[in-house]
Amino acid sequence: MKDLNIISDQTATMPDQPYQARHFIDGKIIDSADGRTSDRISPSHGVLASQAALGTAKETEAAISAARRAFDDGRWSQLSGKDRATVLNKVADLIEANEERLAVLETLESGKPISQSRGECGGAADLWRYAASLARTSHGESHNALGNDILGVVVKEPIGVVSIITPWNFPFWILSQKLPFALAAGCTCVVKPSEVTPSTTAMLAEMLVEAGLPAGVCNIVLGYGDPVGSLMTSHADVDMVSFTGSTAVGKAITKTSGDTLKKVALELGGKNPQVIFPDANLEDAADAVTFGVYFNVGQCCNSSSRIIVHEDIADDFVARVVELSRKVAFGNPMHTDTQVGAIVTADHREKIDNYVATAKDAGAEVCLGGGPLSVPGLGDQFYQPTVVCGVTPDMAIAREEVFGPVLSVLTFRTLDEAISLANDAEYGLSAGIWSENVHTCLEFGRRVQAGTVWTNTWMDGFPEMTFGGVKQSGQGREIGSYGYDEFLEVKSLVMRIGRTREPWVRDS
Ligand code: NDP
């Protein structure tokens, strides 16, 4: 631990008061009817970061019924794409203007570094602007070759009321991967953030009002998965659920939403491999592996928590990753130089530690780290950068989502073996390949089971590039035009031109 790069002091300013997060229902920012709240203690600083209204079935019902009314009377769905885009672009401007306020709360509640929070909160404005562009440019299709007397038009219409449920690892970013796209499509929404990180979602309400979003179009209910989230996924007035979180809850949601046959879009976990060939640029690959595993303390669905390295270079490559790991700045997330912050909760830190201990018991070797990390002045809600070698495909650490700064190392000899190891997982979110050989890269890209494949890079993302998983990593897509289309129904209009239709019933 003494060889690690640990930052204990801070540069960003702490807020004077804890943030008071409240519901946003039918255009009004309100407390719970019973006045109950929950406290969020910052995992890094141990201070009260926020107090959030604790919603019940009453607030959830009110939010769903406001969204239903707002959808059915067309106050938003019947606006032109141009008018919807104008509001979304104003929200984007307000997000940028409020970047620092959002970022400080995001860091205090989640434990992530302030520089990352600034990038995610401010950067989310681009998702809003991209969604606004789709509101104006998306269109259906026309069929002009069905015969001289027929014109066919396929139109896209908003799906209706959408429940949006988000997790704690990227609270404002994931919200912005969903909400502006649903709004751009003309849907109305009920949003529930994780109870651990409610504030930046609640802060957005003020911006939606200022941007001129009509009342009832977006409603935010704070509270736990049960009762708020579960009612949002079972209620008959909801047409679609868009969820990001654990695979277990995703599976439960497909069941609760099944009774009313809602559309369900799920962005779940991953066990994402990066495969490294000897001909790769190994310096770049080692840097990307280090980034891929420690970014957001590994609490990331896209974390590259396992690498599959060619046997000939495995020892040297791991040594390089270990050396880089020691240089990564862990510690106080309120310092601008910090790259890796705190673990979200004490329970979660225990879970990470158990994975490492179980791997050790099963014969794996911990080459670096492997335990909680204490940051002077802040306590031990941190975890050391950890590299576990000699991992075999049957170990839990090779198969399950650890969601921590823990890298598992496996080795291969042939391309076939590498692909088979990469595909040997219940998940299929993302995968990466490092090689200078274009044939190797293309073959890997075509045969690997994943929603995104990165070649000689890791986690580059763009609003234009759609995102989602195969296998148990989810269903449906987010962002990009495919993500936008998830919030639309298609309807076929078949029109006869002139009085050319032959009667079915003939005069006898
Ligand atoms: P969950 O999947 O439990 O929570 C995600 C969201 O769903 C939260 O807003 C949660 O509310 C809500 N929720 C919980 N239960 C229900 C339900 N029955 N119906 C509707 N909504 C519900 O993730 P956790 O936060 O508990 O994290 C657990 C594990 O999940 C992590 O350790 C990690 O492995 C994985 N995970 C994966 C993510 C990803 O990006 N793929 C993101 C986050 C977690 P609340 O928590 O407020 O009760």
Instruction: For residues 325 and 242, state if they share a domain.
Output: no
Measured in angstroms, how far is the CA atom of residue 310 from the centroid of ligand 1?
35
Instruction: For residues 258 and 319, state if they share a domain.
Output: no
Ligand 1, atom 10, residue with closest C-alpha: 225
Rounded Cα distance between 262 and 240, Å, is 5
Rounded Cα distance between 240 and 261, Å, is 9
Q: Tell whether 3 is covered by a domain.
A: no
Q: Which of 412, 423, 421 is nearest to 449 (CA)?
A: 423
- Residue 244 near ligand 1, beta carbon < 6 Å: yes
Residue 389: how many other CB atoms lie within 10 Å? 20
pLDDT value of position 500: 84
Q: Tell whether 340 is covered by a domain.
A: yes
- Residue 165 near ligand 1, beta carbon < 6 Å: yes
Ligand 1, atom 16, residue with closest C-alpha: 225
Q: Tell whether 500 is covered by a domain.
A: no
Instruction: For residues 181 and 74, state if they share a domain.
Output: yes
Q: Which of 237, 329, 313 is nearest to 280 (CA)?
A: 313
Both tokens of 239, joined, read 């047409």
Which of 221-235, 262-276, 489-503 has the weakest average pLDDT?
A: 489-503
Mutate to test the pocket of ligand 1, among 249, 255, 383 (most ligand atoms within 8 A of CB): 249
pLDDT value of position 507: 87
Instruction: For residues 210 and 311, state if they share a domain.
Output: no
Rounded Cα distance between 116 and 340, Å, is 9
- Residue 245 near ligand 1, beta carbon < 6 Å: yes
Both tokens of 314, joined, read 């495995």
- Residue 198 near ligand 1, beta carbon < 6 Å: no
* Rounded mean pLDDT, 142-155: 97
Calculate the average pLDDT of the chain: 97
CB 44 within 8 A of CB 349: no
Ligand 1, atom 31, residue with closest C-alpha: 246
- Residue 429 near ligand 1, beta carbon < 6 Å: no
Q: How confident is the model at residue 493 (pLDDT cuts 50, 70, 90)?
A: very high
Residue 194 Cα: closest atom of ligand 1: 9
Mutate to test the pocket of ligand 1, among 64, 166, 194 (most ligand atoms within 8 A of CB): 194
Q: How confident is the model at residue 436 (pLDDT cuts 50, 70, 90)?
A: very high
pLDDT value of position 321: 98
Ligand 1, atom 14, residue with closest C-alpha: 225
Q: Tell whether 447 is covered by a domain.
A: yes
- Residue 227 near ligand 1, beta carbon < 6 Å: no
Instruction: For residues 153 and 288, state if they share a domain.
Output: no
User: For residue 153, which phi and psi values (nearest 5 degrees)?
Assistant: -130, 130
CB 97 within 8 A of CB 90: no
Ligand 1, atom 43, residue with closest C-alpha: 245
Mutate to test the pocket of ligand 1, among 37, 64, 165, 271 (most ligand atoms within 8 A of CB): 165
Instruction: For residues 373 and 262, state if they share a domain.
Output: no
403 contacts: CB under 8 Å, gap ≥ 6 = 169, 298, 299, 300, 303, 348, 351, 352
DSSP state of 225: I
Q: Is the pLDDT of residue 237 over 60?
A: yes
Both tokens of 259, joined, read 């009774």
- Residue 192 near ligand 1, beta carbon < 6 Å: yes
Instruction: For residues 237 and 322, state if they share a domain.
Output: no
- Residue 305 near ligand 1, beta carbon < 6 Å: no
Measured in angstroms, how far is the CA atom of residue 156 from the centroid of ligand 1?
31
Rounded Cα distance between 218 and 205, Å, is 8
Q: How confident is the model at residue 1 (pLDDT cuts 50, 70, 90)?
A: low
Packing angle of the helix pair 171-185, 114-137 (nearest 10 deg)? 10
Measured in angstroms, how far is the CA atom of residue 230 from the centroid of ligand 1?
12
pLDDT cut 70: percent of the chain above it: 100
Query: Which pLDDT tens digit goes with each residue over 340-390?
Result: 999 999 999 999 999 999 999 999 999 999 999 999 999 999 999 999 999
- Residue 353 near ligand 1, beta carbon < 6 Å: no
Q: Tell whether 465 is covered by a domain.
A: no
**301 classed as catalytic:** yes
**350 classed as catalytic:** no
CATH number, domain with residue 161? 3.40.605.10
Q: Label the pairing between strands 406-412 and 386-389.
A: parallel
Ligand 1, atom 19, residue with closest C-alpha: 230
DSSP state of 125: H
Q: How confident is the model at residue 272 (pLDDT cuts 50, 70, 90)?
A: very high
* Rounded mean pLDDT, 295-324: 98
Q: Tell whether 467 is covered by a domain.
A: no
Q: How confident is the model at residue 508 (pLDDT cuts 50, 70, 90)?
A: confident
**One-letter identity of residue 395:** M
290 to 185, 285, 323, 386: CA distances (angstroms): 38, 9, 10, 10
Ligand 1, atom 27, residue with closest C-alpha: 246
pLDDT value of position 320: 98
**Model confidence, pTM:** 0.97
Q: Is the pLDDT of residue 189 over 90?
A: yes
Sign, CA dihedral 319-320-323-328, equals negative
- Residue 298 near ligand 1, beta carbon < 6 Å: no
Q: Looking at 189, 301, 367, 441, which residue is catalytic? A: 301
Q: Tell whether 5 is covered by a domain.
A: no
Q: Tell whether 378 is covered by a domain.
A: yes
CATH number, domain with residue 360? 3.40.309.10
- Residue 197 near ligand 1, beta carbon < 6 Å: no
The total domain count for the chain is 2
Instruction: For residues 315 and 404, state if they share a domain.
Output: yes
pLDDT value of position 2: 63
Q: Which of 257, 298, 255, 261 is nearest to 403 (CA)?
A: 298
Mutate to test the pocket of ligand 1, among 246, 299, 300 (most ligand atoms within 8 A of CB): 246
Instruction: For residues 336 and 485, state if they share a domain.
Output: no
- Residue 230 near ligand 1, beta carbon < 6 Å: yes
Instruction: For residues 257 and 282, state if they share a domain.
Output: no
Q: Is the pLDDT of residue 458 over 80?
A: yes
Q: Looking at 267, 401, 478, 486, which residue is catalytic? A: 267
Query: Which pLDDT tens digit goes with each residue over 33-54?
Result: 999 999 999 999 999 999 999 9
Rounded Cα distance between 173 and 164, Å, is 13
390 to 343, 362, 364, 418, 448: CA distances (angstroms): 26, 10, 5, 16, 23
Instruction: For residues 337 and 395, state if they share a domain.
Output: yes
- Residue 55 near ligand 1, beta carbon < 6 Å: no
Instruction: For residues 168 and 289, state if they share a domain.
Output: no
Q: Which domain does 251 fall in, by range?
A: 10-268+473-492
Both tokens of 185, joined, read 């499509």
